């Protein structure tokens, strides 16, 4: 069994991007610029945003963090999005989700110019993804495919089973894996809370992707010997042995499943660190006009 090291892979991607940006700026060209909008003061969102700003620095990007209080009106937020859409110095921008209840999240996502939508959440990017056109691919699923690619894992003709059908992980990763591409070319089954025989379906997977948010859900009996296991789950669970009293848990019972599979992503240090690296990659693509 091999551990798929997302932390090291993410660091390698960021170093590759930094080298490309150094070349660009060496030629006198402007560095890529990512803007981020943060509404409210949620601890988790603050940490994600701080990490994104740090990643921009590591890649040589310019960045700005635009903050609004929790009670900002939808109109004000949409006006800021309009300003960023029109700003020629901003290559891409993101709005940290979730947003407060009084703001229509879908309206906000659809207000972003798809050419600057480096999170890949706009329906135009999602639609282009589903029919195999160039687009900004959402970062977590794109990170999963990048890991499969960089570890030389054969995907063509394999049965991939995706557990979870969210718009940010399950659906897009299923769409990516079914494309006629490498990595891709899989036969894909998507399971969710209404799926019958989920255990049997999972046990037939050559590649099993768990994106449920249910700690330890995937047990040894649900895994085919030699399968590739990708654990997207990140849930904070109680752990009295830790100083903080908490630890991050994946959706896979790692200790037992690891013995049975060929490759596995740990939590933390697997899929998680790839998300920011792929956001940086999308921003570089936006700067280079490589998608639109
Ligand atoms: P989500 O929106 O809550 O979706 C969960 C999906 O799992 C739903 O489709 C749900 O089915 C399905 N599900 C839940 N319990 C199930 C069960 N017992 N049996 C079968 N299906 C079940 O979650 P998400 O946003 O995709 O996130 C999933 C996990 O990945 C979370 O732990 C999240 O923190 C993590 N995550 C990590 C990253 C990262 O590492 N960067 C990024 C995104 C998400 P229904 O559709 O039928 O309700």
Q: Residue 110 in contact with residue 124, Cβ under 8 Å?
A: no
Q: How far is CA 12 from the centre of its chain?
A: 17
Does the Cβ of 214 fall within 6 Å of ligand 1?
yes
CA distance 286 to 31: 11
CA distance 232 to 250: 7
Q: What is the pLDDT of residue 43?
A: 84
Q: Flag whether pLDDT at 92 surpasses 90.
A: yes
In the annotation, is 119 catalytic? yes
Q: What is the pLDDT of residue 19?
A: 98
Q: Residue 4 in contact with residue 262, Cβ under 8 Å?
A: no
In the annotation, is 179 catalytic? no
| Ligand 1 nearest-atom number relative to CA 217 | 18
Work out the pLDDT band at 96, boundaries 50, 70, 90.
very high
CA distance 11 to 269: 11
Run of H or E including 64:
strand 62-68
Does the Cβ of 249 fall within 6 Å of ligand 1?
no
Q: Which domains does the chain have, with CATH numbers?
A: 27-113 (3.40.50.10860), 139-272 (3.40.50.720)
Does the Cβ of 7 fall within 6 Å of ligand 1?
no
Among 14, 91, 96, 116, the active-site one is 96
Among 52, 171, 224, 281, the active-site one is 52
Average pLDDT for 219-234: 98
Average pLDDT for 215-241: 97
Does the Cβ of 266 fall within 6 Å of ligand 1?
no
CA 88 – ligand 1 centroid, Å: 36
Average pLDDT for 235-242: 95
DSSP state of 222: G
pLDDT digits (tens, 9 = 90+) for 184-205: 999 999 999 999 999 999 999 9
Percent of the chain with pLDDT over 90: 97
| Predicted TM-score (pTM) above 0.75 | yes
Four-residue CA torsion sign, 96, 286, 129, 214? negative
CA distance 167 to 160: 18
């Amino acid at each position: 069994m091999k551990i798929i090291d997302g932390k090291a892979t993410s660091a390698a991607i960021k170093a590759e991007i930094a080298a490309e940006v150094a070349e660009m700026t060496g030629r006198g060209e402007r560095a890529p610029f990512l803007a981020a909008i943060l509404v409210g003061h949620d601890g988790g969102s603050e940490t994600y945003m701080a990490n994104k700003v740090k990643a921009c620095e590591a890649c040589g990007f310019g960045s700005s963090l635009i903050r609004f209080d929790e009670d900002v009106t939808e109109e004000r937020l949409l006006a800021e999005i309009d300003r960023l859409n029109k700003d020629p110095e901003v290559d891409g921008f993101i709005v940290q989700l979730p947003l407060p209840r009084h703001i229509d999240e879908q309206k906000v996502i659809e207000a972003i110019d798809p050419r600057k939508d480096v999170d890949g959440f706009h329906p135009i990017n999602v639609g282009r993804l589903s029919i195999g056109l160039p687009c900004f691919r959402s970062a977590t699923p794109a990170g999963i495919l990048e890991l499969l690619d960089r570890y030389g894992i054969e995907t063509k003709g394999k049965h991939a089973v995706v557990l979870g059908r969210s718009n940010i992980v399950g659906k897009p990763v299923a769409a990516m894996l079914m494309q006629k591409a490498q990595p891709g070319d899989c036969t894909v089954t998507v399971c969710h809370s209404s799926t019958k025989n989920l255990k049997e379906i999972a046990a037939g997977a050559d590649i099993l992707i768990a994106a449920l948010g249910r700690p330890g859900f995937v047990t040894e009996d649900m895994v085919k010997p030699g399968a590739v296991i990708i654990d997207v789950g990140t849930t904070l669970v109680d752990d009295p042995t830790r100083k903080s009293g908490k630890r991050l848990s994946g959706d896979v019972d790692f200790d037992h499943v690891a013995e049975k599979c060929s490759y596995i992503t740990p939590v933390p240090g697997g899929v998680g660190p790839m998300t920011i690296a792929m956001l940086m990659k999308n921003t570089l693509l936006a700067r280079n006009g490589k998608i639109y």
